[in-house]
Chain A
Amino acid sequence: MAEEFNVLEHELVPEHHLLPEKEAEKVLKELKLTKDQLPKIRLADPCIRALDAIAGPVEEGMVVKIVRRSSTSGVSVCYRLVIRG
């Protein structure tokens, strides 16, 4: 393949946004959560690797915002904590 395939552009893959540290803290405060209570996503996840190339280095402990189309609510937002592996 000539061009590298970007998973984030596939229609079945939801939007991933890397949250800056400050914003992540704000979100956690709003949801009254600690980092360890968030759902996880692995560093090796294809989406995270793609995000790493686009939005700068993604490290363990960062929070990713995922916006997906939902059959029940139209648009749904969720957050995931990046972990090793």
Chain B
Amino acid sequence: MMVTGVTKRIAAIKFAHLSPDEIRKMSATKIITADTYDDDGFPIDMGLMDPHLGVIEPGLRCKTCGKKVDECPGHFGHIDLAMPVIHVGYVKEIKKLLQSTCRSCGRLLLTGEQAEEYRKQRDKMEELGADMLDASSVAKETARDASARTSCPHCSTVQLKITLDKPTTFREEGHKLTPKEVRERLERIPDEDLVSLGMDPTVSRPEWMVLTALPVPPVTVRPSITLDSGDRSEDDVTHKLVDVLRINQRLRENRDAGAPQLIVEDLWELLQYHVTTYFDNQTSGIPPARHRSGRPLKTLVQRLKGKEGRFRSNLSGKRVNFSARTVISPDPMLSINEVGVPVEAARELTVPIHVTERNLEKAKEMCKRGPIPPGPEYRPGVNYVIRSDGRRIKITDKNAETVAETIEPGYVVERHLVDGDIVLFNRQPSLHRMSIMAHEVRVMPYKTFRFNLCVCPPYNADFDGDEMNLHVLQSEEARAEAKVLMRVQEHILSPRMGAPVIGGIHDHITGSFLLTYKDSTFTREETLRILEKIGEADLPKPKVKEGVERWTGKQLFSLILPSDLHMTFKASICQKCQTCKKEKCEHDGYVVIRHGRLLTGTIDEKSVGAFKGRIVDKLSRDYGPDKAREFIDKATKLAIGAIMVRGFTTGIDDEDIPDQAKREIDDAMTQAKMKVEEHVQAYRRGELEQMPGRSLEETLEVEIMKVLGKARDTAGQIAGRHLGLENSAVIMARSGARGSMLNLSQMAGAIGQQAVRGERLSRGYWNRTLPHFQKGDLGSEARGFVRNAYKSGLTPTEYFFHSMGGREGLVDTAVRTSRSGYMQRRLINALEDLKVMNDGSVRNTAGTIIQFKYGEDGIDPSRSVGGDPVDVDDIILEVLGDQGELIAKVQEKGALSYGIQDRDLLETPEEGETETEEPEFEGGGGSEEM
């Protein structure tokens, strides 16, 4: 059965060294031969594959504990080293110890009082809650202080300088210290002095950092693989141990036979090399040990370190069951909190149902259907039944009936997914909490996951090949928690800025624009076509004109607003006129909603869009997430209905402008070119007036950039005069659906100056950008000005310059993503264990305070209004009704006279929002993988 609650709590973890005695004591067998198997394929006793070390072959029993394959955890063996060798992992500590203790008496090179002083400091720090880092820094300080001494205060021996010859050779004034000598010195350090140096002598002695016995890990840690051909292939660690054994053997033989000192020393060094690479095969300063094929061996440290190491890939991250991954595609008919799951996946993913008396019959019926229930309709079947004793029975077509009969309360039935199940849906990279949200299942035909388009922004998903993951929750607690905290509607308001991240995109915005702009009206048939999408039955009262019934789009949109909604704001199409005409705006950009009726204004990005939708914002705040979800569902369906009734398309002829306009643009460009030429001439003649803080050359560049920038704007304006709201591309740009007027003026007017690092192009050939130009030409064409538009086509040189500018953008995004990814990782590592406690303080797992009150004001940013705890204007409006607006007007005047700007977080990004478009590529799925 499942265990709930904390059963054991870890109070402390202590790390210590293994002593040679302990190594031998825990060893199941001594290893002496370098051979693994004999000719018959049986493991050799006292070899590296000794059966005492554990079992890896099924059917056999462990010679140490007598258990079978999965029961025996494996047992360590050991190798007795002929000569001691230094453990690479501890060279730093050994160096510290050698330098801070006396070479003859072994005492710490500090007087008694000094040592006492440091010890007191440590105790005091511990009392005040210092962490490990602080404590070790005191030890380090002690060591530094001690090693600065040139003679021992206890026995007056003059100390010689000890250096480390990386990775494992110690020298004393150039004279080599053998590991044996090092070990002898470490042995001399008394226990009392070790405490000052940050070691606990009750559990670890420094001489244990020089190895005399080497533990041999159990075979379960280094299993050998039998290839199809019948050959055995050993693990890298086994290979390395073979090397150690072989050299150890030779060293012992030579030493015992009284071989010359030189030979023994060489072998000793070789043993040191093998033991070193056994621990870490990437030690700097020595060549890595290689496999016969030339591949470097993966030894102990390599198993643990890095992204593919044990920690990051097996302990911090795990592969899980009850999950699915497939390509995603859109389905506008699903609600935003649903996800379409393919039948094939739904039959594989299961939910455990605990059988009780009340659901017994249902469980039996489901089980009877087996793993693949027949029939054209999707009905949930059962893959496994878990009996009360914990045995798992796989259901097949054959045993379905019989197992179904045995089901009784206390059993668990693993049922297929059905509509309405709560699952978690995720898209990598999971950068914020909206990257994993809970959806309700809709089992559907075909093989992709499907979801509503409004949920694309929080996942940052598109459908160019993106894949997403789905996880089925396995317990009631998890489902309840997900339902309360993780459902899509709970995430409409983002904690980033207290504004919605979920809302209409692209066609939804175009559609609602077409529906509500000015007095667009619809016939009875059109109206019904639009309204059938939201299932609204009651038609509002039509406006009758010349005997024809017509419904205004504003009427239709009002149908989905709550009847007590009052709002006033400016739409995206607002032209930001000098004096706002409010309700009488000729662009229909002033949105007024009273009593749930849209009186004036156009519904566009500012009303329903993701990130900016004011109505979505207000609804989810005041009416709750469920109402907001309903609104988004209906508003987008309405918009889609409207866009389908009217029809909407865009193409290159949307950027067509009359010949007259083309000539005007050409004239403007020629004039700009001449003006640039004038500036250059003035510069050459030395008549250019230098700007303060700039060199003459910089002044010229600034002037030229100014002229050319203006030229592009003029071209855009000329083109814009011929691009009205009857133009689809303009509708998209102005309503905020996609693209900007700048994009349009670059397509129809002129592309303008290309830049690298914010400057005109200047590099390439000697004193010129391309060989098509004179050396030293500073004119507009020679320095990357593109006078053509995308529509009219670029000249070859212009095309080249445009590519230069474009390349910079690509490199920028590539660098940005990799850098910000690493930054995110470090940030999360630092913050992952912080949480807000019930008293509002932010603490880590140790209970130490990080912040006395979350954000200093204790406000949940996702419940805030653009970061503020309360929306004062909204409350005034609510309390005073239309009167409030009068007051707001008075205040506005007052505020302006004090020069205080109306601060609205949602509006601020508007001006600066030249958000560089991420370049998108076909089949993005491939490059998405990180």
Contact = CB atoms under 8 A, between A and B. Distances in A.
B90 interface: no
B303 to A, nearest CB: 37
Interface stretch (A4-12, A16-24, A34-42, A45-53): A34-42
A40 B856 CA distance: 18
B912 interface: no
Contact of B852 (A40, A79, A83): A79
Contact of A35 (B129, B851, B858, B859): B129
A33 interface: yes
Contacts of B852: 31, 76-79
A39 to B, nearest CB: 6
Interface in A28-85: 31-40, 60-61, 70, 72-73, 76-79, 81, 83-84
B141 to A, nearest CB: 10
Contacts of A35: 128-129
A72 B857 CA distance: 6
Nearest to B867: A72
A79 B841 CA distance: 13
A84 B839 CA distance: 30
A72 B867 CA distance: 8
Contacts of A40: 128
Interface of B: 121, 124-125, 127-130, 839, 841, 843, 846-853, 855-859, 867
A11 to B, nearest CB: 19
Nearest to A81: B128
A38 B849 contact: yes
Contact of B125 (A32, A77, A78, A83): A83
Contacts of B856: 70, 72-73, 76
A73 B857 contact: yes
A69 to B, nearest CB: 10
B857 A37 contact: no
13 contacts: A31-B839, A31-B852, A35-B128, A35-B129, A37-B843, A37-B848, A37-B849, A39-B849, A73-B853, A76-B852, A76-B853, A81-B128, A81-B129
B558 to A, nearest CB: 38
Contacts of A84: 121, 124-125
Given A84-B124, A84-B125, A36 B857 contact: no
Interface residues on A, range: 20 to 34
Given A60-B124, A83-B125, A84-B125, A36 B848 contact: yes
A20 to B, nearest CB: 18
A77 B858 CA distance: 13
A65 to B, nearest CB: 11
A49 B370 CA distance: 77
Contacts of A31: 839, 841, 852
Contacts of A72: 855-857, 859, 867
Contacts of A32: 839
Contacts of A73: 853, 855-858
Contacts of A77: 852
Nearest to A71: B856
B857 A70 contact: yes
A81 B128 CA distance: 8
A66 B103 CA distance: 50
B849 A33 contact: yes
A41 B14 CA distance: 28
A32 to B, nearest CB: 7
Given A70-B856, A72-B856, A73-B856, A83 B128 contact: yes
| Shortest 6 CB-CB contacts between residues of A and residues of B | A36-B129, A73-B857, A76-B856, A72-B857, A70-B856, A37-B848
Contacts of B850: 39
Contact of B129 (A37, A60, A76, A78): A37
A76 B850 CA distance: 14
Contact of A36 (B121, B128, B853, B858): B128
A38 B124 contact: no
B12 to A, nearest CB: 15
Given A73-B853, A76-B853, A61 B128 contact: yes
A72 B498 CA distance: 14
A35 B130 CA distance: 11
Contacts of A79: 852
B134 to A, nearest CB: 8
Contacts of A70: 856-857
Contacts of A38: 848-849
Given A36-B128, A84-B121, 8 more contacts: A33-B849, A35-B128, A36-B127, A36-B129, A36-B848, A37-B846, A60-B124, A76-B857
A40 B128 CA distance: 9
Nearest to A75: B856
A31 B838 CA distance: 12
Select the residue from A36, A38, A39, A77 with max chain B CB neighbours within 10 A. Answer: A36
Contacts of A34: 129
Contacts of B839: 31-32
Contacts of A39: 848-850
Nearest to B126: A36
A59 to B, nearest CB: 11
A61 B128 CA distance: 7
